[in-house]
Amino acid sequence: MKHLAYLAAFLPTVALAQTDPADWDAVTAAAEGQTVYWNAWGGSTTTNDFIAWVGERVAADYGVTLEHVKLTDTADAVTRVLAEKQAGENDDGAIDMIWINGANFAAMKEQDLLFGPFAEQLPNWAFVDVDGKTVQTDFTVPVEGYEAPWAMAQVVFIHDTADLAEPLGNMGLILEWAQANPGRFTYPQPPDFLGTTFLKQALVDLLDDTSVLAEPATDDNYDAVTAPLWAFLDDLTPALWREGRAYPATGPAQLQLIADGEVDLAISFSPGEATAAIANNQLPDTVRTFVLDGGTIGNASFVAVPYNSGSTEGAMVVANFLMSPEAQARAQDPNILGYGTVLNMDALSADDRAAFDALELGIATLSPAELGTVQAEPHPSWMTRIADDWIQRYGVAQ
Amino acid sequence: MKGRFLPVLPLLTLAVMLGPVVAGLWGTLLPAFGHLPAAGEFGPSLAPFQALGDWPGLPRAVGLSLTTGIGATVIALVIVALLTAGWSGTKPFRALERALSPLLSVPHAAAAFGLAFLIAPSGWVSRLLSPGVTGWERPPDLLIVQDQWGLAMMAGLVVKEVPFLLLMTLSALGQTDAQRSQAVAAALGYGRVTGWLKTVFPRVYAQIRLPVYVVLAYAMSVVDVAVILGPNTPPPLSVQIVKWMSDPDLAMRLQAAAAALLQLALVIAALIAWRMGEALVARLGKRWIMAGGRGRVDRAVAVTALAFGTTSALAVLMGLAVLAVWSFAGFWGFPDALPDTATLKNWMRHGPSAAGALWETALIAVTVTAAALILTLGCLEAEYRHNLSVSQRGMWLLYLPLLVPQTAFLPGLQSLLLSVGADVGIWPVMAAHLVFVLPYVFLSLADPFRAWDARVGTVAAALGASPDGVLWRVRVPMLVRPILTATAVGIAVSVGQYLPTLLIGGGRVSTLTTEAVALASGGDRRAIGVYGLLQTGAALLPFAVALAVPALLWRNRKGLRYA
Contact A250 B250 (CB under 8 A): no
What pLDDT is attached to residue B228? 93
Nearest to B508 among A69, A72, A76 (CB): A69
| Contacts with A, B 91-120, CB within 8 Å | none
Confidence of residue B239 (pLDDT cuts 50, 70, 90): very high
| Contacts with A, B 210-249, CB within 8 Å | 231-234, 246-248
Alpha carbons B535 and B494: distance in angstroms, whole number: 11
Contact B510 A94 (CB under 8 A): no
**Same domain, yes or no: A338 and A247:** no
Alpha carbons B522 and A293: distance in angstroms, whole number: 29
Q: How is the beta sheet containing A265-268 ordered, strand by strand?
A: A265-268, A156-160, A287-290
What pLDDT is attached to residue B306? 93
Is there a domain that residue A368 lies in?
A: no
**Same domain, yes or no: A260 and A218:** yes
Higher pLDDT among residues B560 and B46, named by residue = B46
What pLDDT is attached to residue B561? 53
Query: pLDDT tens, A84-117?
Result: 887 788 888 889 999 998 888 988 998 899 998 9
Question: What domains are defined for chain B?
Answer: 1-35+360-563 (1.10.3720.10), 58-328 (1.10.3720.10)
How many CB atoms sit inside 10 A of residue A8's CB?
A: 9
Contact A397 B121 (CB under 8 A): no
Res B244 pLDDT > 60: yes
Res B425 pLDDT > 90: no
- Chains A & B: contacts with CB separation below 8 Å: 166
Query: Measured between beta carbons, which residues in chain B are less than 8 angstroms from residue A309?
Result: none
Res A1 pLDDT > 70: no
Contact A246 B143 (CB under 8 A): yes
- Cβ neighbours of residue B359 closer than 8 Å, sequence gap 6 or more: none
A90 in contact with B, Cβ within 8 Å: no
Q: Which residue of A has its CA nearest to B416?
A: A87
Exposed/middle/buried for residue B441 (C-beta within 10 Å: 0-12, 13-18, 19+): buried
Contact B232 A247 (CB under 8 A): yes
Please report how many Cα atoms fall inside a 13 Å half-sphere around the Cα of residue B423, on the Cβ side.
29
Query: Measured between beta carbons, which residues in chain A are less than 8 angstroms from residue B27?
Result: none
Mean pLDDT of chain A: 88
Enclosing domain of residue A58: 19-151+301-361
How confident is the model over B511-539, as a mean pLDDT?
90
What pLDDT is attached to residue B424? 64
Res A397 pLDDT > 70: no
Res B27 pLDDT > 70: yes
Collapsed DSSP state (helix, strand, coil) of residue A299 = strand
B355 in contact with A, Cβ within 8 Å: no
8 A C-beta contact, residue B478 and residue B560:
yes
What pLDDT is attached to residue B560? 67
**Same domain, yes or no: A257 and A381:** yes
Contact A43 B526 (CB under 8 A): no
8 A C-beta contact, residue A387 and residue B47:
no
How confident is the model over B72-84, as a mean pLDDT?
96
| Contacts with A, B 251-310, CB within 8 Å | none
In angstroms, the separation between the Cα of residue B519 and the nearest Cα of chain A is: 6
Alpha carbons A244 and A185: distance in angstroms, whole number: 10
Rg for chain A (alpha carbons), in Å? 22
Nearest to B250 among A68, A83, A396 (CB): A83
**Same domain, yes or no: A247 and A389:** yes
Collapsed DSSP state (helix, strand, coil) of residue A152 = strand
Q: Which residue of B has its CA nearest to A86?
A: B38
**Phi and psi angles of residue B481, each rounded to the nearest 5 degrees, phi first:** -65, -55
Q: Does residue B234 have a cis bond before it (omega within 30 degrees)?
A: yes
**Same domain, yes or no: A277 and A193:** yes
**Same domain, yes or no: A65 and A123:** yes
Query: Measured between beta carbons, which residues in chain B are less than 8 angstroms from residue A75?
Result: 246-248
Percent of chain B residues past pLDDT 70, beyond the cut: 96
How confident is the model over A267-283, as a mean pLDDT?
89
Q: Best mutation site among A254, A255, A281 for testing chain B: the one with the most B CBs within 10 Å?
A: A281
Confidence of residue B497 (pLDDT cuts 50, 70, 90): very high
Alpha carbons A157 and A278: distance in angstroms, whole number: 15
* CATH code, domain carrying A172: 3.40.190.10
**Same domain, yes or no: A99 and A184:** no
Is there a domain that residue A10 lies in?
A: no
Confidence of residue B494 (pLDDT cuts 50, 70, 90): very high
Contact B527 A45 (CB under 8 A): yes
8 A C-beta contact, residue B505 and residue B513:
no
Alpha carbons A336 and A326: distance in angstroms, whole number: 13
Query: pLDDT tens, A159-185?
Result: 999 999 899 999 999 999 999 999 999
Percent of chain B residues past pLDDT 90, beyond the cut: 56
Can you spell out the DSSP letters for A217-284? Answer: P-TTTHHHHHHHHHHHHHHHGGGSGGGGSS--SSHHHHHHHHHTTS-SEEEES-TTHHHHHHHTTSS-
Alpha carbons A28 and B403: distance in angstroms, whole number: 52
Confidence of residue B563 (pLDDT cuts 50, 70, 90): very low
Query: pLDDT tens, B346-356?
Result: 999 888 889 98
Nearest to A246 among B146, B329, B506 (CB): B146
The length of chain A in residues reads: 398
B54 in contact with A, Cβ within 8 Å: no
Alpha carbons A231 and A171: distance in angstroms, whole number: 12
How many CB atoms sit inside 10 A of residue A231's CB?
A: 11
pTM above 0.95, yes or no: no
8 A C-beta contact, residue B171 and residue B204:
no
Contact A246 B233 (CB under 8 A): yes
A257 in contact with B, Cβ within 8 Å: yes
Is there a domain that residue A30 lies in?
A: yes
Contact B121 A262 (CB under 8 A): yes
**Same domain, yes or no: A277 and A174:** yes
How confident is the model over B152-160, as a mean pLDDT?
96
What pLDDT is attached to residue B421? 64
Is there a domain that residue A255 lies in?
A: yes
B336 in contact with A, Cβ within 8 Å: no
Query: Measured between beta carbons, which residues in chain A are less than 8 angstroms from residue B527?
Result: 45
- Cβ neighbours of residue A240 closer than 8 Å, sequence gap 6 or more: A178, A183, A185, A186, A187, A247
Alpha carbons A218 and A101: distance in angstroms, whole number: 22
In angstroms, the separation between the Cα of residue B57 and the nearest Cα of chain A is: 5
Alpha carbons B144 and B138: distance in angstroms, whole number: 15
Contact A246 B147 (CB under 8 A): yes
Alpha carbons A202 and A297: distance in angstroms, whole number: 10
Alpha carbons B319 and B535: distance in angstroms, whole number: 14
Nearest to A43 among B55, B148, B521 (CB): B521
Query: pLDDT tens, B164-214?
Result: 999 899 888 878 888 888 899 999 999 999 999 999 999 999 989 999 999
Percent of chain A residues past pLDDT 90, beyond the cut: 59
- Dihedral sign, CA of A90, A93, A97, A103? negative
Query: Measured between beta carbons, which residues in chain B are less than 8 angstroms from residue A48?
Result: 353
What pLDDT is attached to residue B221? 93
Query: pLDDT tens, A218-227?
Result: 999 999 999 9
How confident is the model over B479-506, as a mean pLDDT?
91
A335 in contact with B, Cβ within 8 Å: no
Query: pLDDT tens, A355-382?
Result: 988 888 888 988 877 888 888 889 989 9
Q: Which residue of A has its CA nearest to B331?
A: A281
Residue B32 to residues A134, B49, B51, B183, B411: CA-CA distances in angstroms? 43, 7, 11, 56, 11
Is there a domain that residue A250 lies in?
A: yes
How confident is the model over A268-288, as a mean pLDDT?
90
What pLDDT is attached to residue B397? 86
- Dihedral sign, CA of B177, B181, B182, B187? positive
In angstroms, the separation between the Cα of residue B502 and the nearest Cα of chain A is: 11
What pLDDT is attached to residue B493? 94
**Same domain, yes or no: A341 and A316:** yes
**Same domain, yes or no: A64 and A108:** yes
Query: pLDDT tens, B373-423?
Result: 999 999 999 888 888 777 777 788 889 999 999 999 998 888 787 777 665
Res A330 pLDDT > 60: yes
Chain-centroid distance of CA A110 in Å reads: 19
Query: pLDDT tens, B246-291?
Result: 776 777 888 999 999 999 999 999 999 999 999 999 999 999 999 9
Is there a domain that residue A378 lies in?
A: yes
Res A7 pLDDT > 50: no
What pLDDT is attached to residue B495? 95
Query: pLDDT tens, B123-152?
Result: 999 999 988 888 888 888 888 888 989 999
Alpha carbons B101 and B309: distance in angstroms, whole number: 12
Q: Give A100's DSSP letter.
A: E
Can you spell out the DSSP letters for A200-216? Answer: HHHHHHH-S--GGGGSP
Alpha carbons A37 and A60: distance in angstroms, whole number: 17
Res B104 pLDDT > 80: yes
Res B79 pLDDT > 90: yes
Res B94 pLDDT > 70: yes
Please report how many Cα atoms fall inside a 13 Å half-sphere around the Cα of residue A188, on the Cβ side.
26
Can you spell out the DSSP letters for B152-210? Answer: HHHHHHHHHHHHHHHHHHHHHHTTTTHHHHHHHHHHTT--HHHHHHHHTHHHHHHHHHH
A94 in contact with B, Cβ within 8 Å: yes
Higher pLDDT among residues B359 and B243, named by residue = B359
How confident is the model over A39-66, as a mean pLDDT?
91
How confident is the model over B490-517, as a mean pLDDT?
89
Query: Measured between beta carbons, which residues in chain B are less than 8 angstroms from residue A255?
Result: 523-524
Torsion of CA A385, A388, A393, A395, to 10 degrees: 150
Is there a domain that residue A14 lies in?
A: no
**Same domain, yes or no: A158 and A279:** yes
**Same domain, yes or no: A289 and A354:** no
Contact A79 B248 (CB under 8 A): yes
Q: Which residue of A has its CA nearest to B341?
A: A281
In angstroms, the separation between the Cα of residue A392 and the nearest Cα of chain B is: 7
Helix, strand, coil % in chain B, rounded to nearest 5: 75, 0, 25
Count the domains in chain A: 2
B458 in contact with A, Cβ within 8 Å: no
Mean pLDDT of chain B: 89
Contact A261 B521 (CB under 8 A): no
Q: If we measure between CA atoms, which residue out of B213, B107, B185, B190 comes closest to residue B531?
A: B107
In angstroms, the separation between the Cα of residue A187 and the nearest Cα of chain B is: 13
8 A C-beta contact, residue A164 and residue A288:
no
In angstroms, the separation between the Cα of residue A69 and the nearest Cα of chain B is: 6
